């Protein structure tokens, strides 16, 4: 597998990226990535979608695009070594050279992180390092932002290491917190930013 390095440009003239997108829910960020491969923002394609949730709509989105899709979880693979082995087999078999966590509600095993070090990115719906860490996901994040009286929020794309929502920040974009916001309205505003910056960050990588 080729070494992958982040750079200022895209993968043009260097071989295409092949992404594995990990998602646990609806997969709107997955769709943003798929659309970005079609428009040329990302010079490559989504080569696999992995979810720990058999009911995730992200798996249906993958099927609609003829992308190999896999449900890998503690239910399908209760033994940790089997979970890790199957995940690595899927990544290797599909020639993956960039992992994108797009609403994946599980910490990647350290074995996967070591194998793909510096080739894993995550999108988080807040301005890290604030409002990150274990248990900070979905509407919980936005409620915490509102409870703290913040005037701005936003989204962050960062490199992934062995700690939740840790690692070098690649891109952050802000949104205003408006009077009368609920966690749901703030989440919708942040999600629009997520859909822009996650493909932008993936497009920074060179194959």
Residues that are catalytic: 124
DSSP string, 22-85: E-SS--HHHHHHHHHHHHTSSSEEEEEEEES-TT-HHHHHHHHTT--EEE-STTT--SHHHHHH
Q: How far apart are CA 189 and CA 51, in angstroms?
A: 25
Rounded distance, CA 118 to CA 74, Å? 26
Question: Which 8-state DSSP code applies to residue 97?
Answer: -
Spatial distance between the Cα atoms of 31 and 102, rounded to a whole number of angstroms: 10
Cα 27 from Cα 57, distance rounded (Å): 6
CA distance 108 to 158: 14
According to DSSP, the β-strands at 69-71 and 44-51 are parallel
Q: Which two tokens stand for residue 41?
A: 């923002």
Go through the chain and tell me how many residues it has: 207
């Amino acid at each position: 597998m080729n070494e992958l390095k982040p750079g200022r440009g895209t993968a043009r003239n260097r071989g295409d990226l092949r992404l594995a997108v990990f998602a646990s829910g609806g997969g709107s960020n997955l769709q943003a990535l798929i659309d970005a491969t079609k428009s040329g923002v990302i010079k490559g394609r989504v080569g696999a979608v992995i979810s720990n949730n058999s009911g995730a709509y992200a798996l249906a989105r993958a099927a609609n695009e003829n992308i190999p899709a896999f449900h890998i979880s503690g239910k399908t693979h209760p033994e940790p070594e089997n979970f890790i082995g199957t995940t690595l087999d899927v990544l290797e078999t599909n020639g993956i050279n960039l992992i994108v966590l797009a609403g994946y509600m599980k910490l990647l095993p350290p074995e996967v992180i070591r194998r793909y070090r510096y080739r894993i990115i995550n999108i988080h719906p807040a301005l890290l390092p604030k409002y990150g860490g274990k248990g900070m996901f979905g509407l919980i994040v936005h409620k915490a932002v509102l409870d703290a009286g913040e005037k701005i929020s936003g989204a962050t794309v960062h490199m992934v290491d062995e700690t939740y929502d840790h690692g070098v920040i690649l891109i952050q974009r802000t949104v205003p917190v408006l009077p009368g916001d609920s966690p749901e309205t703030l989440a919708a505003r942040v999600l629009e930013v997520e859909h822009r910056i996650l493909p932008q960050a993936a497009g920074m990588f060179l194959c």
